[in-house]
Amino acid sequence: MNIQQKANLAISVLFGLMACSSQKNVQVKTDEYSLINFLINQNENQKVNQYFLDWEENNYSTYRDFNPSEIEEFDFLAINNDLDLDSLFTLDEIDQLKNKIDSEKPVKLKKSGVVESSRLLNHKKIDFMSTSVMGFSYPIIQLTSGEKYGFILSSFSGKGTYYSIYQKKDSFDWEIIHKAMIAIE
Amino acid sequence: MLWTLTSCVEEPEVPQIQISENGELMKVKSWFDENKTKLRLPDRDINFRTDSHELILPFFEKEPDWDRFHHYFFPDGREVWEVNLENEETPIFGNLLDSIKNTPLNEVVIQNLMFIKNPNEERYDPIIARYYPKGEIDILDFKKMNYSKINEYWSGKLELFTYDEHHFIGFEFEEGEIINEIRYSKISSGSKVKNFNNADVRCTTYVLPITNCVTTSSGTSCSANYNDLVNVTYCTTGGSGGNYIYTYGRNEGYTGGTYVDPSGSGDEYVVPVIPAPETFILNQFTNPCGSQIFKQLMKASIIKSSIGNLSQANAIIQLLQDANDVEFIVKNSDLTVGTAGKTTDTKRYINSTSDKLEILIEFDNDYLESATRLSIARTMLHETIHAFLLYNFFKDPTGEFKQGLNNFANSKGYTDLNDVHHNFMPQYVDAIGYSLATWNQVYGNSVNIPRSYFDDLAWGGLTFSQHNSTTNQYTWHDVFQELVPSETERIRIQNVINNEANDEYSAKGEPCN
């Protein structure tokens, strides 16, 4: 390798590092993180678990699991418990949703995606019974013509785990259209 | 950045129980109604029943209760319908039920007909399965157990018979493990006979030797002990008795632990080959300490014993009594940070006619490492009561209990099930405290702990809905605030709970490790 080649390599490495550094500073602004931030803001006193809840470990692995009208949950106070996704989406949209359900999902929240990143908890050791922590699954966002829906699991220590479906209203606001407790603590 | 691959490997295909299973069951019923008079093994000679060395019970017509059934598959894929018998006649063997007195037989012994679907023909050849509990705590409801699902809390004997009452094989269980295979034979000089009657049950008892076969990893070894006679008693409840003759003999078709039809004609009763019964492990703890504490709570029937300490409404006592009917799985897992334990239902597609509900209780691995045994026992009782409540919702979805909780939620203005459970459950604080004290007395390390300490601890999980770690302020649950109006007292109780949960210096329990 001659001097010119070495210089080119050094420059490319430098630019690569700068690109990585630059990426870290760019706040992640996606619908997924929009929904997560919306929920974090609603529970201002709680720490946020940086690790996502696993959909499959919570028994959400097929389209049927996601469709409230097909599930008999124990939560008799559920919001819109009979919501039927079949009536909300076209067959094509349902296929898209199924693909998203089957897709790989991140295991950890990006610090750069969370508005209040100081609340993130990235270690497991805490005082049990005296630290309130909330956690989420990686949201699944489904589009229809002009509408956006978000599917998410959220857990709150001392309370339980909930499955919710939200409809996006604007850049920051989501409206809940279904919520059911799936596990209690 | 950490990424993970979601598993894309499909589970092996397991036959699914469809919503049409009632329709399938009706096919079994039709076949049985049409064929029940033919379900006899071929007679080998005219005196077979009297000269045979085989144990054959008197035949009685079987009356299946088609509303009570289990549906499952043998490991080789054959479909099985196990239907409860509503007959009042209950055969009893010798000392099978010596430890259980004063309980009506039809509440003690479960008698089922297993209809095993022939893979090649449209027929469902039956085997009788009789479950004899070892002690009072092993008396189970029909729904709790079947041939493919015997849990580790059950001890007793499972005896199998052909439809026409030839003894097939028996299994002795000790806490869900098969410890013996059992076959019966009689002494060559013939059976001794004695008869007795009592007010409720008419019984005829015969004395026979028993052959025990012990199954080990190296195989099965059998020994007939002619000095160890076994009573064989046949009882009918409320009936007039009958001409019962017990004989025994080697079935010609005996092959490797199963009977087959020696005639092979296909039209007659074919006694199907069956696998060994399967155990269903409810206690799935891999954490030995967690497993031990749970077993101790279950074994001692502490939950049930706490009933005696309650003076509350009958409905609550009934709820606690239902504890033994709840089929719940317990295990340890990596739960989300801050979660000690949680309860959920694992079978989310419940077929109300077939009782397929399972409730899962999970305990966090970190919590099991950091908490005292006393705290863990407390969390187990807390989660168990959640399980009772969930169970009751499913058991009677339109019933008074659920309606009562609904009314409770409405009157308090609760819109979240968490608020309903955790403000309703303080009714069980006495029971939890009593149970913890009892558990500690038997299994705990610490003596001289006042009862009030256990009552404080019993509030765990019921005190607050949120804690602000910055300001150290709690958002207390309504009922805790009502029943413990002093903030100082609430903080004191909360500190007791926290100390045990984190094995702090002032904790009175000891850690698992």
The domain limits of chain B are 21-90+98-189+241-278, 288-501
Report the largest interatomic distance among the alpha carbons of chain A, rounded to a whole angstrom.
74
Helix (H) or strand (E) holding A143: strand A140-144
| Vertex B400 angle, CA B395 and B403, to 5° | 100
The answer to whether the CB atoms of B8 and A102 lie below 8 A apart is yes
What pTM, to 2 d.p., does this model score?
0.70
Nearest partner of B85 among B73, B68, B97, B70, judged by Cα: B68
Q: What is the pLDDT of residue B346?
A: 59
Neighbours of B201 (CB within 10 A): 17
ipTM of this complex: 0.81
The answer to whether the CB atoms of A127 and B498 lie below 8 A apart is yes
Beta bridge partners of A108: A51
**A–B: how many Cβ contacts below 8 A?**
149
CA distance B296 to chain A (A): 22
The answer to whether the CB atoms of B465 and A159 lie below 8 A apart is yes
CA distance A1 to chain B (A): 32
Rounded-to-integer distance, Cα A35 and Cα A42, Å: 11
The answer to whether the CB atoms of B367 and A128 lie below 8 A apart is yes
Neighbours of B33 (CB within 10 A): 10
The answer to whether the CB atoms of B1 and A110 lie below 8 A apart is yes
Residue numbers in chain A where pLDDT is lower than 70:
1-28, 124-125
Contacts of B243 (CB under 8 A, 6+ apart): B58
Beta bridge partners of B82: B70, B114
Q: What is the pLDDT of residue A114?
A: 84
Q: What is the pLDDT of residue A80?
A: 94
| pLDDT means over runs of 10, chain B (513 residues) | 29 39 85 86 48 64 90 87 86 62 75 91 90 84 85 85 82 81 56 40 52 52 54 42 26 37 54 80 87 76 43 37 59 84 65 56 90 92 83 76 88 93 91 84 83 95 87 92 96 96 93 83
Residue in A102, A156, A184 closest to B343 by CB: A184
Q: Quote the tokens at residue B374.
A: 């006393």
Q: What is the pLDDT of residue A130?
A: 75
Write down the residue that tokens 């580790």 correspond to: B152
For residue B125, the SS3 value is: strand
Q: What is the pLDDT of residue B21?
A: 60
CB contacts under 8 A, B 99-158 vs A, are none
| Separation of CA A111 from chain center | 13
Q: What is the pLDDT of residue B236?
A: 46
Q: Where are the domains of chain A?
A: 29-184
Nearest partner of B147 among B171, B163, B120, B121, judged by Cα: B171
Rounded-to-integer distance, Cα B302 and Cα B473, Å: 35
CB contacts under 8 A, B 12-41 vs A, are none
Interchain CB contact of B350 with A (< 8 Å)? yes
Distances (CA, A) of A115 to A28, A44, A89, B146, B354: 10, 12, 31, 54, 49
DSSP 8-state symbol, B17: P
CA distance A143 to chain B (A): 22
Q: Which residues of B165-193 are buried (b: 16+ CB within 10 A; e: fewer)?
A: bbbbbbbbbebbeeebbbbbbbeeeebee
